[in-house]
A and B are shown apart, each in its own frame.
Chain A
C-alpha cells in the first residue's frame, strides 16, 4: 500500500479529535504497527508535546512569510547572484543542491551506493584550426607552435591560440576554429579580443580585422571579452547578430536548440534578429532569442550562463534534462533517461567543470532518487 503523509496524518488527527469509525480504527491500528509511527502517536497524544510544537509554530508567521515571498520572487535576481557568487567563491567544491523527488517513505533507498561505474573525465583543451587554404591543424594541450598566415603570426600554446599581425593587410582572410564535444579552446584575435570557445562550437573569424567592422560567425557557445575600438564587433549566429563596442558577454547559440542566450557581464550589447527592433541590454541582463526572431530581455544570474569559462557550472532550478544537454557536450557523453520523468527534476547546485562527471552522478545517486550506469560513453539514468 502506498503510504501518504497527508492521509496518514489526517487519520491520526481524526482519532485525536473526533474518534474513528470501526473501519478507520482498523486502519489506524495497522498504521501504528509501525514502531516509529506508534512512538509518534504517543508523542502527539501528550498535550505538553503539542503545546511545545504549537509554540514553535508561533515563531513563524505565514503572513510575514508570504510578504517576503512576494518581495523575493519578483526581486532582481542579481541580489541572489551576489550571494551565489560569494558562495561559489567560498565553497568551490561540488555542492549538490536539490529539489529532488526524494522518496521519503521508502527509507531503504537512502543506503544505495553508486553502482561501480567507469569514470568519465572532463573535457580538455582541444580544437582544430582550419586555415584559409584548408589546412587543418590540431591544437592540443601541449606544444608551442607558430604558424604564419597572410602576414599574421598564429601562436598556439597550452590550448590557447593567439593572432598577432606583423604587417597590415587589406584582404580579408578567414580562419575557422572547430572545438569538438569534450573540448574547449581560448583564442585571442588580432584586435586583442579574447574568446573562450566551449565544446561543440565553431567560430569563424578574419585573421586580421579589415574594414569598418569586426565580424565573426559563431555556432555554439562562447564567451567574448571584446577590446574596445571604434569599429563595432559583431557576432553572427543562426539566430541573429550581437553588436558591441567593448564588452564582456556570453553567447549560447547552438543551432539544434530552440533558443539562443546572450548574457552580458560588462558594457553594453545590442541584439538584432531582423524580425524585431534591436534589444539593448545592461550588465546582468540577457536576451533570449527564439528561432523565429522573437526576443525576450530578462535579468539573470550571469554565473549560471558564463560560469563555465571560469571552470564552474552553476545550475539554478534547472531541469535535469537541460543540465544533461550541457554536460553531454563537455563530457562527450550521451545520456539516456530510462524514466522520462527524471528529466523534469529541478536541480540547484554547482559543478566544477574539470571534475570527472562521476562526482556529479554520485551526488545525484546519494539523494536516493536515481541510479546510473556507464556503458561506453553512454550514461543511463534510472530509478
Chain B
C-alpha cells in the first residue's frame, strides 16, 4: 500500500504499479458499493472492472485524488443504475431490484460518503504493520483482549501496546469497549 496521493500521477500516466495500487485501494470498496445497488448480482465485479478498463482505455486525466475518487463512484453508480434499468425492462423477476435498493436518488451522496469513509478506514488499517492490523481487526470483530492475546499467542500487554500504537485514538465512537481498556 502506498500513499494515495502518489497513485494519482501514475494512474494518469497509465503506470502499472500505480494501477495495481489503485486496485488495492479502491476495488473492494467499489465492488461492495455496486453490490449494494445490484443486491448481490453476479455482475458486480464485471461492472467495476468495466469502469477501470474504460478509464485505462480513455485519455482521461484526473486533476486530483478527489477528482479520481468522485469519478470512480459516479461511473460505478451510473453503470449499476443502467444495469438495473436494463434488467427491469427484460426481466420482470428482477423488477424489484430498484425498489428494494437502499439507494435513493437523494441520499446517494450520503451513501457514497459512507462507502468512502469505510474504504479510507480499511485502507488505513491495511497499511498498518501486520501485528497491529490483526489486533485492530480482531477488536473490531468484537474479540476481547484475552481472546486476542490467546489467538495471537502473545501476552495481553503486547496486545495493548499494539493496540495503542495502531489504534491510538480510535475513540469511543468506533469501539467503546476497546477504549475502556486503553484508558
Contacts and interface: CB of A to CB of B under 8 A. Distances in A.
Interface of A: 3-10, 12-13, 15-19, 34, 36-37, 39-40, 43-45, 47-48, 50-51, 53-54, 56-63, 65-66, 68-69, 72-73, 90-91, 93, 95-102, 104-105, 107-108, 110-111, 317, 346, 348-349, 367
6 contacts: A17-B168, A39-B110, A61-B28, A68-B45, A68-B49, A97-B79
By DSSP majority rule, is chain A's interface helix, strand, loop, or mixed? helix
Nearest to A83: B46
B121 interface: yes
B150 to A, nearest CB: 20
Nearest to A367: B78
B124 A47 contact: no
A72 B117 CA distance: 30
B182 interface: no
A45 B172 CA distance: 8
B127 to A, nearest CB: 12
B2 interface: no
A69 B51 CA distance: 10
B170 A72 contact: no
Nearest to B31: A60
B86 A57 contact: no
Contacts of A66: 19-20, 23-24, 27
B109 A62 contact: no
Nearest to A107: B106
B169 A7 contact: no
A9 B109 contact: no
A16 B174 contact: yes
Contacts of B106: 36, 107-108, 110
Contact of B113 (A5, A56, A57, A100): A5
A54 B140 contact: yes
Contact of A57 (B73, B122, B169): B122
B57 to A, nearest CB: 6
A90 B90 contact: yes
Given A45-B174, A104-B74, A16 B109 contact: no
Given A6-B69, A367-B78, A13 B111 contact: no
Contacts of A45: 173-174
A47 B116 contact: no
Contacts of B114: 40, 43-44
Contacts of B25: 62
B82 A97 contact: yes
Nearest to B177: A47
Contacts of A18: 168-169
A83 to B, nearest CB: 10
Contacts of A102: 74, 77-78
Interface in B166-182: 168-171, 173-175
B105 A100 contact: no
Nearest to A96: B82
B105 A110 contact: yes
A47 B142 contact: yes
Interface string B22-48: 011111110110010000000001001
Contact of B142 (A43, A48, A73, A93): A48
B90 A40 contact: no
A294 B118 CA distance: 50
B65 interface: yes
Interface string B134-178: 000100111000000000000000000000000011110111000
A346 B110 contact: no
Contact of B116 (A6, A65, A100, A346): A6
B170 A57 contact: no
Given A6-B66, A54-B140, A59-B31, 19 more contacts: A3-B109, A5-B69, A5-B109, A17-B174, A36-B107, A37-B110, A50-B121, A50-B174, A51-B141, A54-B137, A63-B20, A65-B23, A65-B48, A69-B19, A69-B53, A73-B53, A91-B90, A99-B54, A99-B79
Contacts of A19: 169, 171
A18 B29 CA distance: 22
